Amino acid sequence: MAQLTLLDIAIIASYLLLTLFVGLFFSRRASENVGEFFLSGRKLPWWIAGTGMVATTFAADTPLAVAGFVAKNGIAGNWVWWTFVSGGMLTVFFFARLWRRANILTDLEFIELRYSGKAASFLRGFKAVYFGLFINAVIIGWVNLAMFKIIKIMIPGLNPELAIVGLVIFTAIYSGMSGLWGVSITDAVQFVIAMGGCIVLAVLAVNSPQVTAAGGLKQALPGWMFDFFPSFSSAVNTSQTGAYALPFTAFAAMAFVQWWSSWYPGAEPGGGGYIAQRMMSAKDEKNSLLATLWFTIAHYCVRPWPWIVVGLVSLVMFPNLPVGQKEDGFVYVMNAVLPAGLKGLLIAAFMAAYMSTLSTHLNWGTSYLINDLYKRFVKPEAEENHYVLMSRIVTAVTAIFALYITFYVLETITGAWEFIIQCGAGTGFVLIMRWFWWRLNAWSEITSMVAPIVAYTWVSRFTTLAFPDTIFVIVLFTIVCTLAVTGLTKPTDREKLYAFYRTTRVGGALWKPVADELPDVKGDTGFPALFADWFFGIVLVYATLFGTGKLIFGEPLTAALYYAASAVAGAMIYRDLSKRNWKTFD
């Protein structure tokens, strides 16, 4: 492996110093969470709020994971996350305005807005620990693992374990100093650096001597690897690449079940997490809708193609990588094609993506653990300085726990993705329906979080099912358990339901028993039109995504047809929302 030059080292050092400067310059309260910052009056226009969502979901792990999907199953392997488009569009048209109306500081506050009694309090505290510490540590762990792989391959003279520990400490320090202010400012800068670096890498990779000598990607690889849709027959393999075509049963699990049933960070059914917090930050309901729409388009249509191209190139340059190391091919391509200077720039770009996501998750987890657990249940009347100190301690504990997960639990990034999706399979049913069905209560949501873990444990130990086929079993078990517990427990107190309905005006047939008792509240109508907008939104994203892919792979006529379909879908959405003055409901 080629060592880094002094120019590369200088670029990396300059980036780290710039990041530290931003953290110091924008120093604010470390305990300040996203909701407190934005609800204090700094409402954002849609393009800033939406770009913040895109930046938050761009991490060092994502390019490696996408390249791994491509190297294992061709371009169609990306359906493991492309299917979340449908859920994202539900958030755009049905949930963005509801989160904005809720006027809460964190999405966990929703729990005590919607549910009542001790079960609601328990659920809020439980989710603060479950998501703020455990799930958050797994997410940070796979982000750490991606950076570990980059350092190990790109900088062989550096101890990767010590480097990761150092970067975590560095990020925790500047994140703690800057709070949300510094994190928000650096997110935007880091996203531009990371995205630009990946585009440069893709261009250099396609024009590398190994690829051009083989006559280009399409000549070097089997044709099915460029298909955007999976095989409807038995899995196809090739000894040339060690890749397998995605079977239809796996596609069906993802396309028809996973997108609405599984919790996944950044793609929560019904919105949630930092996506909900960004929606709550928007100026009004219109800006909330547009921010989420822009995020969905940028997330699926703009970001993935450089990663997909590099994933394909990795099969040409490194065809003999074992299946468990396919995602490492992305980093091997970086090391092989980048000249001095650009190599340092790309490492800095990945540090940008890595530190952006790490700082966001450290702030996000601390926000949950301090505001929704410690401040809510342990010490609600303490001085502000006490919460600042505790937030720094919690940030450190989260970082240490995530390091343990990185070095002793996780093996592959894609494996961690699959673990999170399966342990949240079925939870999405409640996350959607808690808005639209009055009968669900806190015990319903608690059950929907515990049941998939039980089902996943059973399926992984006592059956031969593999992901994503396991989704069918886990989701069915979770929904049955959730509905059973809902029927056996008392509904939310009537007064709490009245207050929730007055605040959100959610409407819909499943709130009729409550709406009939509140004749002075006009609930939302016009659902059929929004389902049409949802459909056209899905067409808009997929047509743009596939059109861009066809253009990249030299099929301009097909690309034009996809773009035409995208334009028609966009025009239909614009026409409908314009008729209603950009209000999502009449």
Asked whether the predicted pLDDT for residue 479 surpasses 90, the reply is: yes
Contact in structure between 414 and 95 (CB atoms under 8 Å) = no
Other CB atoms within a 10 A radius of the CB of residue 413 amount to 26
For 117-121, 264-268, 315-319, which range has the lowest pLDDT when averaged over its residues?
A: 264-268
pLDDT band at residue 236 using 50, 70 and 90 as cut-offs: low
**Radius of gyration of the CA atoms of the chain, in A:** 23
Average pLDDT over residues 66-81: 89
Q: Which residue has the tokens 């305005």?
A: 97
Average pLDDT over residues 90-115: 87
pLDDT band at residue 44 using 50, 70 and 90 as cut-offs: low
Q: What is the mean pLDDT of the chain?
A: 85
Q: Which residue has the tokens 């310059």?
A: 25
Name the burial class of residue 579, with classes exposed (0-12), middle (13-18) and buried (19+) by CB atoms within 10 angstroms of its CB. Answer: exposed
Is it true that the peptide bond before 319 is cis, omega within 30 degrees of 0? Answer: no
- For Cα atoms 27, 33, 36, give the angle at the middle one, nearest 5 degrees: 100
Q: Which residue has the tokens 């979901």?
A: 57
Average pLDDT over residues 549-561: 95
pTM of the model: 0.86
Segment holding 487, helix H or strand E: helix 470-488
Residue 547 CA to residue 558 CA, distance in Å, equals: 7
Asked whether the predicted pLDDT for residue 456 surpasses 60, the reply is: yes
Task: Give the model's pLDDT for residue 40.
Answer: 42
Task: Give the model's pLDDT for residue 33.
Answer: 44
Angle between helices 273-281 and 342-369 (to 10 degrees): 90
- How far is CA 420 from each of CA 277, 417, 472, 519, rounded to the nearest angstrom? 21, 5, 15, 43
Residue 512 CA to residue 517 CA, distance in Å, equals: 9
Contact in structure between 334 and 307 (CB atoms under 8 Å) = no
**pLDDT: which is higher, 288 or 208:** 208
pLDDT digits (tens, 9 = 90+) for 405-445: 988 888 777 788 888 899 999 999 999 999 999 999 999 99
Average pLDDT over residues 240-249: 69
Provide the 8-state DSSP code for 159: -
Number of residues written out for the chain:
586
pLDDT digits (tens, 9 = 90+) for 288-324: 788 888 888 888 988 899 999 999 999 999 988 887 7
Amino acid at 204: L
For 240-249, 278-287, 339-348, 353-362, which range has the lowest pLDDT when averaged over its residues?
A: 240-249
Question: In the structure encoding, which two tokens stand for residue 466, read together?
Answer: 């593999």
For 26-40, 251-265, 422-436, 481-495, which range has the lowest pLDDT when averaged over its residues?
A: 26-40
Residue 62 CA to residue 40 CA, distance in Å, equals: 33
3-state SS assignment for residue 317? helix
- How far is CA 23 from each of CA 11, 19, 20, 32, 386, rounded to the nearest angstrom? 19, 6, 5, 14, 21
Average pLDDT over residues 374-400: 88
Residue 82 CA to residue 291 CA, distance in Å, equals: 19
Question: In the structure encoding, which two tokens stand for residue 280, read together?
Answer: 């709550």
Question: In the structure encoding, which two tokens stand for residue 296, read together?
Answer: 């969905």
pLDDT band at residue 241 using 50, 70 and 90 as cut-offs: low
Task: Give the model's pLDDT for residue 264.
Answer: 81
Average pLDDT over residues 465-470: 89
Contact in structure between 545 and 82 (CB atoms under 8 Å) = yes
Contact in structure between 176 and 29 (CB atoms under 8 Å) = no
> Percent of the chain beyond pLDDT 70?
88
Q: Comparing C-alpha atoms, which of 160, 193, 187 is closest to residue 359?
A: 187
Residue 309 CA to residue 501 CA, distance in Å, equals: 48
Contact in structure between 18 and 149 (CB atoms under 8 Å) = no
Phi-psi region of 29 (alpha: psi -120 to 50; beta: other; left: phi over 0): beta
Task: Give the model's pLDDT for residue 62.
Answer: 84
For 271-280, 292-301, 380-389, which range has the lowest pLDDT when averaged over its residues?
A: 271-280
Angle between helices 342-369 and 6-25 (to 10 degrees): 30
Using CA of residue 182, residue 185, residue 187, residue 189, what is the dihedral sign?
Answer: negative
Residue 535 CA to residue 95 CA, distance in Å, equals: 15
Average pLDDT over residues 517-528: 92
**pLDDT: which is higher, 502 or 410:** 502
Amino acid at 380: P
Contact in structure between 66 and 305 (CB atoms under 8 Å) = no
Using CA of residue 532, residue 534, residue 537, residue 539, what is the dihedral sign?
Answer: negative
Amino acid at 334: M
Using CA of residue 104, residue 110, residue 114, residue 116, what is the dihedral sign?
Answer: negative
3-state SS assignment for residue 244? strand
* Spans of all domains in the chain: 6-424
Residue 272 CA to residue 281 CA, distance in Å, equals: 13
Domain topology for 6-424: Sodium/glucose cotransporter (1.20.1730)
**pLDDT: which is higher, 185 or 344:** 344
Neighbouring C-alpha atoms within 13 Å toward the C-beta of 445: 30
